[in-house]
Structure 1
Amino acid sequence: MLNSDQIKALIPHRYPFLLVDRIVELDEGKRAVGIKNVTENEPYGNGGHFPGVLIVEALAQVGGVIMAGGERSKDQIGLLTGIDNCQFGQPVGAGDQLVLTFEVTRHKGQIVKGRGVAKVGDEIVCEAEIMFAFSAIS
């Protein structure tokens, strides 16, 4: 399990755009499960719901944690390059806990593609195919 400080050591996101509170499962390079607790104190999402685009970003951050380890972590960063087949279910609001699962489906050279699924309880609230390209940090 990784807490927020450990997550921040792996990906560059910081408040208010670090959207993963903890990682509860991690199989480096393959699969991870993260948690996002949605509260009334979120700095975005007027109208009482957590925006779908941020759910997709949270899934991408879980994917970034998967790929952040190993030899790549010191000199490269994963950049979100594509989102395909994205679908949303019920709205997400304060008090909900998002369970964010990301599984790598293809890894070829600098390109990584995976499937992300966000759930609240047993209900799927978002699923998408997400692609990253790795680039050197200057």
Structure 2
Amino acid sequence: MIDVVEIQNILPHRYPFLLVDRVTDLKEGESVVAYKNVSISEPVFEGHFPGHPIYPGVMIIEGMAQAGGILAFKSSSKEAQEAAKDKVVYFMSIDKAKFRNPVKPGDRLEYRLNVIKHRGNIWVLEGKAYVDENLVAEAELKAMIVDR
């Protein structure tokens, strides 16, 4: 298990844009399971939408990408992991994105990502997001780890 303090040692993101609270399972080079607790106190709900709060799909995709970044860094060599503070993960593409059900305050959003392909500093991941075992979003993500 990887808690939010360790996540902050891996990812450069911070509040309000750190979208992974905990990693519950990680198989290096293969898969990651992580989650975010969606709270009504998040700034995004001030405008999306007043009186009918829905967590934006782009934030779900970004959370998937952050979980994928954790997987990529943890799957790297020890030397590369030590150099993580000098690296950042960039999106190259987002394909086949689908949003199945709305995510609301109080939901626990679980990200499940599997490696489709990894070559050098390029990662292609299949991402799915669930709330209570119900699929809420999915996408294929391509990312690159680069120097800051």
Whether these two folds match at TM > 0.5 is: yes
1:85 matched to 2:90? The reply is no
Q: Structure 1 runs of 4+ off > 3 angstroms? A: none
How far did 1:8 drift? 0.6
Give the alignment partner of residue 56 of structure 2, picking from 51, 64, 67. 51
How far did 1:68 drift? 1.1
Aligned counterpart, 2:13: 13
Secondary structure of 1:68's counterpart equals: helix
Report the AA paired with residue 90 of structure 1.
N
Give the alignment partner of residue 80 of structure 2, picking from 65, 69, 72. 72
Report the AA paired with residue 15 of structure 2.
Y
Moved more, 1-10 or 43-52: 43-52
How far did 1:28 drift? 2.0
Secondary structure of 1:15's counterpart equals: coil
Secondary structure of 1:55's counterpart equals: helix
Q: TM-score, normalised by structure 2?
A: 0.88
Aligned residues: 137
Aligned counterpart, 2:25: 25
Instruction: Point out the structure with the larger helix share.
Output: 2
**Fraction of identical pairs, as percent:** 38
Give the alignment partner of residue 114 of structure 1, picking from 122, 125, 139. 125
Q: TM-score, normalised by structure 1?
A: 0.94
Distance 1:134 1:114 in 2: 13
Aligned counterpart, 1:40: 40
How far did 1:72 drift? 2.7
Report the AA paired with residue 44 of structure 1.
V
Moved more, 25-34 or 51-60: 25-34
How far did 1:133 drift? 1.2
Moved more, 87-96 or 75-84: 75-84
Which structure 1 residue ranges, 5 or more long, are not aligned?
none
RMSD of aligned Cα (Å)? 1.2
Report the AA paired with residue 72 of structure 1.
A
